[in-house]
Chain A
Amino acid sequence: MIKNNAVSQIVITGGKGGVGKSTVAILLANQLSTYQKVILVDVDVECPNDYLLLDQTLAKTPNKKIYAKFPVLDKDKCLRCGLCAQKCRFNAIFAPKDKYPIFLHQLCSNCGLCWNLCPAKAIKIKSKITGKIYQNQINTNLYLVTGQTVGIVDETGPLVRQTKKYALDLATKLNVKTVLIDTAPGTHCNVINALLDADHSFAVTEPTPLGAHDLKLILKLNQELKIPTQIILNQSDLGNQKLIQTVAHHFKTDIIHQIPYSKEIVTAYSRGKLNHLTLNGYV
């Protein structure tokens, strides 16, 4: 569990990509930071973007490096029994009959089954960097924590958890009461890890069948995770709002905020300068 009872974790998600998750997360963070300390956490570790939208760069040296364990073979000890390849459930070990196994690190989930199981103790552990965590200060009250994968990483859930943990530790240190967590699109492990332990969530969507379809999936997920979720409808004056209202009704939640198409936001977005925009004015 990654939880600190003194800090509320609010997650901004949505299912579909490109609907405005990061924009909403930043506008909300900007607004909250006018009267309290806030940490914005970008856990779209595969494609983190919040720093680009806040006119920031990531430092040459990260604040923290994240490592994962990978198997490497000690040929002198290997019995070529093939047990490791047979037991690996991620097809990450390839062992032709009577030959030495080959480890495919890009498919490896770092689960440790192979080196724990090897009867000859022929599998050594090699730590490889899989992620970096960066910390930026945006203004007096607003901090940004960014998680980013390094190289080809199959399993990104653990890095999401580490990034959240870093942000919660920072919250304790700086006496911050609210962290806003901006997720990747989709519903799989990277998003699940972002949502776990959340106090509240906002699902950002757009008024199209695509937005409605993906919204249903994320609301279903949050129902199972028991996270209260409300909807924020972006580009609300384009498309067909009824589609989203129907989904909201079905899941017994509401659309708490609508953001009409805004040239100002689009321009600021495309220049990477959302620093001074808030949700105000659209409420």
Chain B
Amino acid sequence: MVMSNFNLVIASGKGGVGKSMLSATLAHYFAKKYRLVAVDADVDTPNLDLWLGGIKHWDQINKISVSQQAFATNKACPDCQNCADICQFGALTLKNDHLHINPFLCEGCGACQELCPSGTIKMKKVIAGQIKIKNNVSGFPLVSAQLYPGQTGSGKIVDRLKQISHKFNRQLTIIDSPAGTSCPVIAALNDANFALLITEPTPTGFSDLKRVLTVVKFFKIPWALVVNKWDINPRQTQTITTWSKHHFLGQIGYDQNIFKAIADLKPIYKTNLPVKQEIKTIYSKLLKRLPVNFH
């Protein structure tokens, strides 16, 4: 199988365990030989651009609307309570004929509008955030987004980012997933061809890894595992590597200099830290694991 639009997703469950660092550095190594596009699917708190050295000027910034929200119009409300009863998100309250819609809770499902007998509720398009594209970051394009704080619809924005990235028609799409296991993570993993999971050797890292793995397994995605900061608890690392069996791919040591490098916005691949070589080794091993012919 010759590869095109192969979706490689980096995920972890737990936040702050090294997803974006790994994604950025792997992208750098893949880009030396393959045509790829990088996607930052952490649309709430996107950081992949920072691990790539920071981007001062994006080539495109476009506002994006992925959903609508309910608004009360001036039309008289019959006080039937249909809308308040049906709303599963607790967004509507009706008191003395006065309808209040909490925009922070409205998910835009439209159920209230459909069931309102008097047309008091209308759905209106809302701007959920913006999509940002940089055509060339260290040899490949980066597709990113920023969900405006207070807006919902992160899963739908991730879907949109993936559609845009596929228009670049690259061999490989590297998708940096957000933390957690719900809508934006499901959207990131949805049609993944391979999931590279990363964790740290702590009870919390291991527990969250197992939780995101339920999503990976649900979609029947082949996966491999990287343990970051392996040396902060070698015994726990041993437990995790034994547990993960043949899925184990490689490990990265704890190094405070990584913290210092990112504080100065210096990408890992521009440093001489051990982590650079460690990720390069992970890259070589990963190439052999991917179920496609890259050549």
Q: Which residue of A lies closest to B111 (CB)?
A: A113
Interface string of B1-28 (1 = CB under 8 A from A): 0000000000001111100100000000
A149 to B13, CA, bound (A): 13
State which of B45, B88, B152, B185 has its C-beta within 8 Å of the C-beta of A110: B88
Using Cβ atoms and an 8 Å threshold, which residues of chain B touch A113? 109-111, 114
Using Cβ atoms and an 8 Å threshold, which residues of chain B touch A270? 201-203, 232-233, 236
Contact, CB under 8 Å: B111 / A190: no
A187 to B149, CA, bound (A): 6
Using Cβ atoms and an 8 Å threshold, which residues of chain A touch B183? 154-156, 188
**Is residue B101 contacting chain A, with contact meaning CB distance below 8 A?**
no
**Is residue A47 contacting chain B, with contact meaning CB distance below 8 A?**
yes
How far in angstroms is the closest Cβ of chain B from A48? 8
B residues 91-125 touching A (CB-CB < 8 Å): 104-105, 107-111, 114-115
Contact, CB under 8 Å: A158 / B45: no
How far in angstroms is the closest Cβ of chain B from A267? 8
Contact, CB under 8 Å: B263 / A190: no
**Is residue A152 contacting chain B, with contact meaning CB distance below 8 A?**
yes
State which of B45, B68, B207 has its C-beta within 8 Å of the C-beta of A185: B45
How far in angstroms is the closest Cβ of chain B from A144? 14
A residues 17-64 touching B (CB-CB < 8 Å): 17-19, 22, 44, 46-47, 49, 52-53
A243 to B109, CA, bound (A): 39
Contact, CB under 8 Å: A220 / B149: yes
**Is residue B243 contacting chain A, with contact meaning CB distance below 8 A?**
no
State which of B68, B181, B259 has its C-beta within 8 Å of the C-beta of A47: B181
Contact, CB under 8 Å: B186 / A152: yes
Q: Which residue of A lies closest to B259 (CB)?
A: A238
Interface residues on A, range: 35 or more
Interface residues on B, range: 35 or more
**Is residue A221 contacting chain B, with contact meaning CB distance below 8 A?**
yes
How far in angstroms is the closest Cβ of chain B from A137? 20
Q: Which residue of A lies closest to B150 (CB)?
A: A224
Most chain B C-beta atoms within 10 Å of own C-beta, residue among A17, A53, A112 = A17
A39 to B262, CA, bound (A): 36
Contact, CB under 8 Å: A239 / B263: yes
**Is residue A109 contacting chain B, with contact meaning CB distance below 8 A?**
yes
How far in angstroms is the closest Cβ of chain A from B17? 6
A151 to B213, CA, bound (A): 11
User: Among the listed stretches A3-11, A71-79, A171-179, A208-216, which one makes contact with chain B, having 4 or more residues with CB under 8 Å of it?
Assistant: A208-216
**Is residue A277 contacting chain B, with contact meaning CB distance below 8 A?**
no
Most chain A C-beta atoms within 10 Å of own C-beta, residue among B68, B108, B180 = B180
Using Cβ atoms and an 8 Å threshold, which residues of chain A touch B212? 47
Contact, CB under 8 Å: A238 / B86: no
How far in angstroms is the closest Cβ of chain B from A163? 14
State which of B154, B180, B202, B260 has its C-beta within 8 Å of the C-beta of A239: B260
State which of B54, B147, B202 has its C-beta within 8 Å of the C-beta of A187: B147
Using Cβ atoms and an 8 Å threshold, which residues of chain B touch A110? 88
How far in angstroms is the closest Cβ of chain B from A257? 19
A214 to B262, CA, bound (A): 14
Contact, CB under 8 Å: A17 / B262: no
* Contact A117/B114 with A18-B16, A192-B104, A210-B50 known, Cβ cut-off 8 Å: yes
Most chain A C-beta atoms within 10 Å of own C-beta, residue among B14, B45, B186, B202 = B45
Contact, CB under 8 Å: B179 / A109: no
* Contact A238/B265 with A112-B88, A113-B114 known, Cβ cut-off 8 Å: no
Q: Which residue of B lies closest to A186 (CB)?
A: B44
Using Cβ atoms and an 8 Å threshold, which residues of chain A touch B211? 46-47
**Is residue A127 contacting chain B, with contact meaning CB distance below 8 A?**
no
A239 to B180, CA, bound (A): 26
Contact, CB under 8 Å: B14 / A49: yes
**Is residue A217 contacting chain B, with contact meaning CB distance below 8 A?**
yes
Contact, CB under 8 Å: B67 / A116: no
A22 to B203, CA, bound (A): 13
Using Cβ atoms and an 8 Å threshold, which residues of chain B touch A89? 67-68, 108-110
A153 to B183, CA, bound (A): 8
Interface string of A88-126 (1 = CB under 8 A from B): 011000000000000000110111110011000000000
**Is residue A129 contacting chain B, with contact meaning CB distance below 8 A?**
no
Q: Which residue of B lies closest to A111 (CB)?
A: B109
State which of B67, B86, B179, B256 has its C-beta within 8 Å of the C-beta of A184: B179
Using Cβ atoms and an 8 Å threshold, which residues of chain A touch B260? 238-239
Apart from A17-B15, A207-B263, list 14 A-B contacts with CB within 8 A. A47-B14, A47-B181, A47-B211, A49-B207, A89-B67, A113-B109, A113-B114, A152-B215, A184-B180, A186-B154, A208-B262, A208-B263, A210-B47, A239-B259
10 pairs from A and B in contact (CB 8 Å cutoff)? A18-B16, A46-B13, A46-B185, A110-B88, A112-B86, A151-B214, A184-B179, A185-B45, A239-B260, A270-B236
| Interface residues in chain B, defined as those with a beta carbon under 8 Å from any beta carbon in chain A | 13-17, 20, 42, 44-45, 47, 50, 54, 67-68, 86, 88-90, 104-105, 107-111, 114-115, 147, 149-152, 154-155, 178-186, 201-204, 207-208, 211-212, 214-215, 218, 232-233, 236, 256, 259-260, 262-265
| Interface residues in chain A, defined as those with a beta carbon under 8 Å from any beta carbon in chain B | 15-19, 22, 44, 46-47, 49, 52-53, 68-69, 87, 89-90, 106-107, 109-113, 116-117, 149, 151-158, 161, 184-193, 196, 206-210, 213-214, 217-218, 220-221, 224-225, 235, 238-240, 243, 261, 266, 269-272
